[in-house]
Structures are given as structure tokens and as C-alpha cells.
Amino acid sequence: MMGSVVLSCEDCTSWQGLLLTVTLLTSWLLPTTSKLTIKSVPPIAVEGENVLLFVHNLPKNVKAVSWYTGVAPFKCSEIASHVVATNFTVVGLAHSGRETVFNNGSLLIKSVTRKDSGYYTLRTIDSTSRPEMIRAEFFVHSPLLFYKKHLTPSQLIIQMVPLWDEKSNNIFLWVFNMPEKLQGFAWHKGVLPLSHLKIASHSFLTNSTRLGHAYSNRVKVRNDGSLLLLNVKQKDTGIYTLRTISVDLKSEWVIFDFQVNKP
């Protein structure tokens, strides 16, 4: 669990450049020991939409919550603090007038822009004054990009099929309705199809598969687009993105939120 120190704006200044890089990432969950989780709805939004960072399992003894932009509770990045007992909110320096904190800890951001992409930190304080922090992320894209707001025409779908045995836990991410006339596809660990998050890509033109930086020897990619995860571990938790490219260079993608619940 992260520390509870709230840094000053002077500390924040030297971190701003680093925090800007976080906006390239988005929405996979980081549960804490109390199983507090955040779900971004939607995890990928079009400019102008509303995004809800929905808090699950907020402990009953939580007295107050605070939301921050970025990966740490800088004072200058505080959006708002909310007192649960009185349902009272005090806005922070990073409040833009579009954010609302609900009594269950959730954060609503209206009319998002691309600048809103990135990490958000929730800090809770319980009745014993013990702080706890958790992060969430989402991405906002322009309507002019290839990425579509709704399901693609092919209705590209991923379903998880568990293949349990006594020695290991294997998970099969089965792909349905792969588009026809594809150049290839790629799997990424994360929401955005960035090169450093690529697990593997497959070319139908050469019938070959290339491994990416996020590849491990526990991952198997099938020619039909499906992904097999062998001996699943807690670190495999997160968002997986499948991106396809057609012969006429049209791109479609679908994401799958995979949560590992192991003792």
C-alpha cells in the first residue's frame, strides 16, 4: 500500500513531466488488501462523454475520501475531499467544475477531454485515521480516430474459458467474430495498443507471429486470435486488448478486464 504523505505544490512541480506520461495509460484495477476496487465506466471514452469511476466495496468505517489526478496524493492535484457522514464535499485545486464525488466514494467526470486521460488516485481515511489508496485509469480519444465508441460491426467479442487442472490454472481468452480479410492482429496488456505493452502480433500475410515486450513464456497466441494464459498468477490481473487491422487498414479493438482471485 502506498504511503499517506500529501506532497506540496513545490514537490508537485518536479513531478509534472513524469505525471504527463501517465495519460498514455488507462483502466485496469489495482485492488487493495480490503478488496476496495474501482471500475471505470467506460474504460475508453469519446471526448464529450461522461466517465464514472465507480467504487466497489467501500468499507463501512471509512469517514472521508479524497480524489486526486495522477498517481500520488499531491495537494495541487487534489480534485475534492468528501466527508461521508455529512455528505459534504470540499473542492481542491485540481477541480475543474466538472467533477462530482458521491457518498459511496465514486467520482463522476462530465464532458471529458483528452487531457482527462490517465491515472486517478482515491485516498480513504477510516475511523482509526488509517489511510488507504487505490488507483484507476481511463483513456479519452477523439471521435476522429479509428477507434469506435460502440461495438464494431463485426461484434468482436472475447469470452474467458477456464481450463482448470490439478497442477496449474490456465485461462483461455476465446475470440468470436473475427473480421474477415485481415492483415493481422495484436494482443496488448493494457488498454492502449502501445508497442511497449504488446504481448504478440500475428500477420496473416506471412503466417508468422512476432513476440512483444509484454510477452512471457506462459502466453500462447493462436492463429484464430485467441489467447491462452498458462499457470495464471496474480500479476496477470488487468486489461487485455485485442486489436485487428484489415487489408484496407481499418482498425478494430476490443478489451477484456481479467481479474485473478487467488488466495
CA dihedral angle for residue 121, residue 258, residue 213, residue 156, rounded to 10 degrees = -110
Does residue 4 sit within a domain?
no
Mean per-residue pLDDT, 156-180: 74
> What pLDDT sits at residue 96?
96
- Same-domain check for residues 130 and 91: yes
User: Domain check: are 210 and 251 in the same one?
Assistant: yes
26 or 10: which leads in pLDDT: 10
User: Does residue 73 sit in the same domain as residue 121?
Assistant: yes
Same domain membership, residue 117 and residue 26: yes
Domain that holds residue 174: 157-258
Whether 135 and 244 share a structural domain: no
Q: Is the pLDDT of residue 166 over 80?
A: no
Q: What is the reported pLDDT for 193?
A: 67
Same-domain pairing of 23 and 124: yes
Same domain, 49 and 133: yes
The reply to whether 77 and 106 lie within a common domain is: yes
CA distances from 164 to 172, 230, 259 (A): 10, 10, 16
Q: Where are the beta strands (DSSP E) in the chain?
A: 37-41, 44-46, 51-56, 62-69, 78-83, 88-91, 99-101, 107-109, 118-126, 131-141, 157-164, 169-176, 182-189, 198-203, 208-211, 219-221, 227-229, 238-246, 251-258
Does a structural domain hold residue 147? Answer: no
- Pull the grid cell for residue 208: 508468422
Neighbours of 69 (CB within 10 A): 24
Number of structural domains the chain divides into: 2
- Both 168 and 193 in a single domain? yes
| CATH number of the domain bearing residue 214 | 2.60.40.10
Cell numbers 471509512 correspond to what residue?
62
- Same domain, yes or no, for 87 and 28? yes
Residue 203 lies in a domain: yes
Q: What percent of the chain has pLDDT over 70?
A: 78
Q: Are 120 and 68 in contact (CB under 8 A)?
A: yes
On whether residue 1 sits in a domain, the answer given is no
> Could you read off the pLDDT of 85-118 as tens digits, one per residue?
999 999 999 999 999 999 889 999 998 998 998 8
pLDDT of residue 2 exceeding 80, the answer is: no
Confidence at residue 162, expressed as pLDDT on a 0 to 100 scale? 65
Which has more pLDDT, 13 or 234? 234
Residue 3 lies in a domain: no
- pLDDT at residue 8 tops 50: no
Q: What's the pLDDT at 167?
A: 53
Q: Which of 141, 165, 193 is the last residue of a domain?
A: 141
